[in-house]
Amino acid sequence: MNNSHTKRIFEEAYRTIEKKEVAVIRDVHGFPERDRDIISPYLMLFICHSGSSRALYDMQEVVFRPNEVAMILPNHIIRPIDSSPDYSITIIMHSFAFEQDMTQRRMTHDRNKFHKTPACRLTDEEMAQYMKAVELLEIISETPVSRYPHRHDMLLAQTDIMTDMLDACRRDMDQDAKPIDRNRSIFNVFCNQVAIHYREQHEVAFYAEKAHLTTRHFSVVIKEVVGVSASDYIEQYLATQAKNLLSSRPDLSVLQIGDHLGYADSSSFCRFFKRATGLSPREFREKNCK
The predicted pLDDT at position 80 comes to 92
At residue 11, the pLDDT reads 84
H/E element holding 240?
helix 230-248
Q: Is the dihedral of CA 14, 35, 226, 117 positive or negative?
A: positive
Q: What is the pTM of this model?
A: 0.85
How many Å apart are CA 248 and CA 29, to the nearest integer?
22
CB 105 within 8 A of CB 156: yes
> Taking every pair of C-alpha atoms in the chain, what is the biggest distance, in angstroms?
58
pLDDT at 156: 95
pLDDT, tens digit only, all 290 positions of the chain: 457 778 888 888 888 999 999 999 998 988 877 778 889 999 999 999 999 999 999 988 999 999 999 999 999 999 999 999 999 999 999 999 999 898 887 655 567 677 777 899 999 999 999 999 999 999 999 999 999 999 999 999 999 999 999 988 888 776 666 667 889 889 999 999 999 999 999 999 999 999 999 999 999 999 999 999 999 999 999 999 999 999 888 899 999 999 999 998 999 999 999 999 999 999 999 888 75
Per-residue pLDDT, 172? 73
Distance, in Å, from the CA atom of 46 to the CA atom of 72, rounded to the nearest integer, reads 8
pLDDT attached to residue 106: 67
Burial of 259 (C-beta count, 10 Å sphere; 0-12/13-18/19+): middle
